Amino acid sequence: MPEQIGFIGLGIMGKPMAKNLLKAGYSLTVYDIVGEPVEELVTEGAARGSSNKDVASKSDTIITMVPDSADSEAAILGPNGVLEGAKAGSVVIDMSSIAPLVSQRIAAECANKGVEMLDAPVSGGEPGAINATLAIMVGGKQEVFDQNFDLLKTMGSNVVLTGDIGAGGITKLANQIIVAANIEALSEAMVLAQRAGVDPEKVFNAIRGGLAGSAVMEAKGPMMLDRNFRPGFRIRLHQKDLRNVLQTAQELNVPLPATALMQQILGALVNEGEADSDHAAILHFIEDLAKVEVKRGG
């Protein structure tokens, strides 16, 4: 077990992930630009960091969990950032979902200071973060991955090294394509059933065990039926992920027509004030087109 762990970014995902590290017995120093989650972690046994630099100076391994590429760059490379406080030989694990090329750029800067890096984005939303059942997709050196495997397993049930730096990000982008398309397809199916006068809950229960069944369906179907769109994963963050998908695809000259459509749907929902709704609210876009509201009982 590494002696000292730093954790930067205590949002919907980061806070429960940090709590799981505390429960596992890791010595943790935490920081977030919002004070409330820091206070909560401190009451549970974490040390308070005053900045990204301060956290890094007190840690052997520094985990960052922030919203987007610019946030990772600022937290790690920026003024008062991780690299200003990190010791040679320490490890940065960026668990944010960012553009793979940015991960590679950050890793190169880290290497110049003798600091190792893994990019390790996650999937599983808030429930996965709370229950330590996240899928963690990792890019980096095999030996650095091996050294930090037990640490990562404290936060996730499926931890896989997919390649060099940036490969974790590519894997997460692939994941986000499939998740978005699944939620949209489930939304269409629910709305069709509702319009046809068939109870969407019965349709859900009938098909969940067949080929159409998926982890996405199991997570988002009940939310749709309950009209519960409290964010486990916000629409604006999924929109950001698909923007990174499409930027990466453009650089690689890979056409992704369904992903481009999903990006437009998410953008429309943001314009409708749904930026901070759970991505299960993709249902609202399809409901609005059909002038139908999905509800239990048909």
Residue whose C-alpha is closest to residue 165's, from 118, 116, 113, 123? 118
> CA 120, CA 141: separation in Å to the nearest integer?
12
Q: Are 169 and 100 in contact (CB under 8 A)?
A: yes
What are the residue numbers of the active site? 172
* Helix-helix angle 235-252:167-195, to 10 degrees: 120
Planar angle of CA 126, 131, 137, nearest 5 degrees: 70
Handedness of CA 19, 22, 26, 28 (dihedral sign): positive
The count of C-alpha atoms lying within 13 angstroms of the C-alpha of 120, restricted to the half-sphere facing its C-beta, is 31
